[in-house]
Every structure is written in structure tokens, then in C-alpha cells.
Structure 1
């Protein structure tokens, strides 16, 4: 029977495994969905990758994510499996029992059905396929059990295909070219920048830079898969170490917490105190001592912003306010400032402070050592061409931004 699958780079079971891993994100969840053991799922995936001589998935932020080649394979698998599901849905109209075509059909079933429909004889089909007649009859019985209805009617001169057999033969003619051309499709991939770029962003960081760089990358290299996600430092650092993301951006610290990570500076910024434009604090606040009783919006503990916030009050021999509202995003912090009496400690580059929302206003208090730096954190040993291209786009975006500031 294996000879019947030789024209197809993937079995239909492997197609089902690949698409389910993509949907569920892990082999474990795919095994539960397909009602297969996890070793069976792993084995099917490994055999598929060996047959195609490519890696289909890479470890990602939310589980298994397809490689550039994996995207092509998944697209092919989805097309084949969708056609099978459509055929099963049509056949289901004629019977009450639940069909099992979508879960169990393999190439050998479809090839045998197609051959018998074409020649009208199980024995002739067996000769055509290089099988024995009992093997053909057994295969027909298997697929008949899957569709819960007769496939052929016996006549003096051979077998007459019924509706189910005709639909299955038609299905084979539609999907076999898609599957058989997969290797050629993979070999014909254009020689251009491909792959996944997964970028983490620390709270409050680079929201106006990354989208511009992403847009430029997407325009120049449409086969790149771009991802951006937000999270705290320790989560992003661990994700970078484990290969779930490629880099992350944010305020630079005194140095990365793991020796295999490195930081590169990108943009000089500075801390600023922000309040609603019509807030009375703009009239009476002259020093930090005037702000000790205010309500504050700050970043979470363990961030450079929060450390600086607490150092401000220690510098005036005062305890940091306990009643502080922690926010995770820059936009939500600005919006909350607009709609409340709270003031916020944020950071801006020169261009962004000049473009501040008119409903906001910087409190005119000189802060001690407000300078800080936005940077990108990379894995010391994993710096691909794609990551370098992204850094180049970030650098260009920042230069254009600074150029706008100077004009």
C-alpha cells in the first residue's frame, strides 16, 4: 500500500496533524483535538519534515508557529482538507450516521476509488495500481464504512459507481494535483527575505517607531511574517532566550539580566511629568515637594520608570506615594491623564513632546537627570539577516523622525 502514497510528499494524516498544530499551537493540544497520542503527533510531524526536508514550525510566543516554508505547506494542506470536508458534508445529506471521511481517509482510498470508477472493475483496477484484488476490495470496504453508503452497484459487465463513488473520484482529481505539486512549489519559492520576525515591546516603549518600521519591511519583503507583542521585562527576556521572540525594545537598563543577551541603544529620550492641560497643578507646582499629595499614574514595579519615580521622592526625603495607578501602555496612561486629576511620569523624545496631545501639558518642573535611552535587546548568538534588516529599518525610522524634529 505504501507504493500508492509514493506520488504524494505528505500523507493525509500528516496534513491533518500539521494543520491542527497550527490551529492549536502545541502538539499536546493537537493530539487531544485529533484523538491521537502525542508521540503519534510528534512522529507524524517529524516524518513530514523529513519527507519535505524543511522545518515546518518554530517555537513562538504563543506556541508552535509556522516557518516561511511551513506557511506554504499549511496552505496546501488546508486546501486538500477543506475539499475533503466539503465532500463529507455533501455525502452527509444522504445518511443519518456520522461520517468519518474527514478523520480517516488516506490517499490509497481515493486512488482505489478513482481507479475503480474509471475502469469499472476491481480486478482491472488492482492490475492498474499494482495491487491484489482482495486488497482493492478491502480498501473499498474501508471507505464504504467511512461514508456509510454503497459505493458501487454490481452489474453483468462490472461495477457501476454510485453517487458517493463519483464524488470521491471527483475529490481525488481535485486534490491530488495540489498535493503532488507541493515539492515543486517549495523549490520555486522566490529568493527573497522570508521568515518570522517576532518583536517584543516593553510597556510604554516604541509604539510610534515599530509600526513604521514594520510597514516598511512589509512593503519591501511581503513574505515576512511580522509579529509584535507587549509584556514585562522578565517575560520578554525569557521569551528571547528560548527563541520565542527575536528581540524586544524598551528603556535600557544598567545591563541585561542574562549574559546571553545584549542591548543596543536606539534613541535618546527623557522623563517628563504630564497632566491634563487645564489641571491646576500647572499654576501652583514649582518643585517636586508640591506634588507629594497628587495621585499618580506610573509604570509597574521593576521597570526603569518606576525606579526613577521612586528615586524622585527619595531625593526630597519623601516616601513615594502609595496610591499610584499602574498602567501597562503609553496610550492608556495618556488617556487616563486626560480624563482624571492624576498626573503621570512618562518619557518622550523631543519630537513626541512637541507633538503632545493638546489636551495634555508638561508640568514645568526640572527633573534631576531625566535622560534615558530606548534600545533593542538581542540574543548574543541569534542575530539573523532578518533581525539586522529590522534594526536598519528602526534606525532609518528614527533618523527620519529626528529630521522632522529639526525642520
Structure 2
């Protein structure tokens, strides 16, 4: 029996733990949901990873995130547990007491029931499985307590399986191949780049080039798990330091705020004043002084755009407008400009300014020192082939963009 059970790469408890960590995002939340201690959850996950010889989760932006191998494991666990839950729902129709099958059943329970159904005898099943008859009888009693209904009736020629036993035996025959196919599925992963590429994007930055680079990587390396999320600089920098993301893109500062981070420039851009295409400011405003009483849309405090915005007005001995409206995304800022009398300070590369929405127009005022740089920030000690591949795809995407502006 022990050899038969050990042939399963994961216990059903481990399947429950893995699935719940995926659902809840952390081992702590999973332990509360399962009513297990956190050390028990951590131990079950560690034992599962040792048995499979893979990492199932990695630390991510929103908690535990599956690796490429982890995706296969989670899919198998979900399939197994959903089949158990379906059988429990079927059995629940026969009794009023809440059943406990999906919470407590293990492989040995299902294996023994299937063996008894198959041979019609507890003693013969015990011999087949290398167990004692009392151990088989005890296990049958455990399952009867889980499902609250008889499994077998005694007859002259042996044990006659009831509906519950037949359903549980059928369940075992359905889910055991799923479990046994897990290791071959992991081993058959393509011999190519696998793992996670988690990219952060600063507000207003790179929303157009990252998806193009992702699409190219996905075509070439389907085993890579791609993620992109947006956030402010300090949040992304801390996420990068903690290994929750692999890199982030956006306007470069005067240098990273942490010594373990490094920046690489990718694309030149320039700060630009934008207003609705029919806004009177296009003809009435000649200098920055003419814009002091306008309503403004700018990025949040602490960003290079906001610092430049405030520096513009200090340069003409004027206080920055206090009625500035902060927006977090490029698209929402442009949309708000279109539907209001506000003007915006944004930044565009050559391609994006040429593709400007026709309902928008650049205000013809020359800004001082308007050049800026979009770059990628990485961790000095956590370089990888995946990150380098991403940088290469970004570079090609940028080259294609700039080449199209010259046609």
C-alpha cells in the first residue's frame, strides 16, 4: 500500500494547499482559509516542491505567483479537486448533513474503496494492496463518516458496493491518471526560456511599447509567464528590490534611489504642452506667462513631470497653479483634455507626437530643457536571460517605431 500511495507525486492535502495559495495569494491567507497552521501549509508546499523537483510559486507583485512549472501543477490540482467537489455534490443529495469529503479525503481512501468495489471483498482487497484487513475496514469506516452513507452491504458472497462506493471508485479512476501525468507534463515543457517576466510601468510611460515586446516574446517563448502592472516610482522600486517584479520602465530620474538598482536609457522624449484642438489657448498664448491662469492636468507629486511643471513656473518667477488636476495614466489625461478646457503637460517621443489624437493639439510654446529619457530600471544582482531578452525586444520595438516616423 505504501508503494502504491508513494506513486502519486502529490498528496491531496498538498493539492489543497497549492490551490488555496494560488486563490489567496499568500501562505498566511491560505492557512486561515484551510484552517491549517501556517507552518503546516509551508511544510506541505515545500514537500510538494521537493517531490516534483520544481518551484511552484515565486514571490510576486500581489503575493505568491506561479512559475511556468507551477502553472501545470496548479492546473492538475484544480482538475483533481474539482472532480472531488463534483462527487461530493452528488453524494450530498442523499443526506442532509454537510459532507467533508473534499476537505479530508486522501488517495488511500479512494484507492481502498476502488479495490474493494473491484474485488468485492475487504480481505482480498487487503491482500492486493499489501494491507491488513482491519486497516481496510478502518479506512472504509473513515470514508463512511465523510459521506454519511453506507458504502457496502454485506452479502453471502462478499461486499456489495452501494451508489456512494461506486461513485468514489469512479472518482479514483478519473483523477488518478491526472495525478500520474503530472511529472511527465512538467518534464515535457519545451526546451526554451521559461519562468516569469514581471514588468512594472511608471505612470504615463511605455504603455505602447511593452505590449508589442510582450507579444514578440510570447510568440517565441510560450513558456514565459508575462506580467505588466502600473504604479508609482517608490512602489515599483521597492517591488524590484524585494523580487516581486523583474524590472520597471518609465521616465528616468537623476539616478536610482537605491544603490542596488541600475538604469539603462531606451528612448528620448520631450515634455509637451497639449490642449483640446479647438482650445483658444492655441492662438492666445505666446509664452508661459499666458498660461498661469489656465486649469492644468499634470502627473502626481514626486514624478519628474511634476518637478518639471513646477520648475517651469518658478523659472518665470511665478507660483505653479494650485488647481492642477493629478492623473495617473496617459490615456485618462488625454481623454480629460479632450473633454475639458484644461491643458496638460505630458511627454511624447517622435512617433507618439506624430500620432497625436486629432482632437488634441500641441500648444506652440517652446519649453526650456524639455528633453527627457525613458529607461528601464533593473536590480544589479538579479540579471537573467529573460530580462535581457525583454530589453532586446524593447530595443527592436523602439527602432521600428522611430523608423516609421521617417517614412
Give TM-score, length-normalised by structure 1: 0.99
Aligned mates of 1:368, 1:251 — CA distance in 2: 17
Residue correspondence of structure 1 range 75-224 to structure 2 within 5 A: 75-224=75-224
Given the alignment of the two structures, is residue 32 of structure 1 paired with residue 32 of structure 2, yes or no? yes
Q: What SS is found at the alignment partner of 2:153?
A: strand
State the Cα distance separating 1:383 from its structure 2 match: 1.4
**Cα separation, 2, equivalents of 1:185 and 1:207:** 35
Tell me if the contact between 1:337 and 1:343 (Cα under 8 Å) persists in the aligned partners. yes
Alpha-carbon contact 1:153-1:160 (below 8 Å) kept = yes
Contact kept, 8 Å, 2:190 with 2:223, in 1: the verdict is no
| CA distance in 2: counterparts of 1:55 and 1:15, whole angstroms | 14
Q: Name stretches of at least 5 consecutive residues in structure 1 with no aligned partner.
A: none
The aligned counterpart of 1:332 is 332
- Cα pair 2:203 2:232 within 8 Å, conserved: yes
1:10-29 matches, within 5 Å, as 10-29=10-29
Kept after mapping to 2: 8 A contact 1:4/1:107: no
**Aligned counterparts of 1:2 and 1:281: Cα–Cα separation in 2:** 81
CA distance in 2, matches of 1:334, 1:186: 46
Find runs of 4+ consecutive structure 1 residues off by over 3 angstroms. Answer: 1-4
How many residues matched? 407
Q: Is this contact kept in 2: 1:205–1:374, CA < 8 A?
A: yes
Report whether the alignment pairs 1:276 with 2:276.
Answer: yes
1:363-374 map, 5 Å: 363-374=363-374
- The C-alpha deviation readout for 1:200-240, integer Å capped at 9, x for no partner, is 00010011111111111112222221111100000000000
Taking the aligned partners of 1:71 and 1:57, their CA distance within structure 2 comes to: 9
Task: Tell me the alpha carbon deviations over residues 135-184 of structure 1, each in whole angstroms, 9 at most, x when there is no partner.
Answer: 10000000011111000000011000000101111111111111112122
Query: In the TM superposition, what is the alpha-carbon distance from 1:2 to its structure 2 partner?
Result: 4.2
Q: Deviations over 1:282-338 (max 9, x none)?
A: 111000011111111000000000000011011101111111000000000000001
Unaligned runs of 5+ in 2: none
Deviation string for 1:337-393 (max 9, x for gaps)?
011111000000111111111111110001001000000000111111111111111
* Cα offset, 1:7, TM superposition: 1.0
Q: Is the 8 A contact 1:99 1:147 kept in 2?
A: yes
The two structures, once aligned, show a CA RMSD in angstroms of 0.9
Check whether the contact 2:268–2:372 (CA below 8 A) recurs between aligned residues. Answer: yes
- 1:396 is matched with 396
Scaled by the length of structure 2, the TM-score of the pair is 0.99
1:4 Cα deviation after fit = 4.1
Q: Following the alignment from structure 2 to structure 1, what is the Cα–Cα distance between the partners of residues 350 and 152?
A: 78
Moved more, 352-361 or 186-195: 186-195
1:235-258 Cα shifts (integer Å, max 9, x gaps): 000000000001000000000000
Paired with 1:346 and 1:2, the residues of 2 have a C-alpha distance of: 67
Report whether the alignment pairs 1:351 with 2:363.
Answer: no
SS at match of 1:218: helix
Q: Distance in 2 between the 1:63 and 1:305 partners?
A: 31
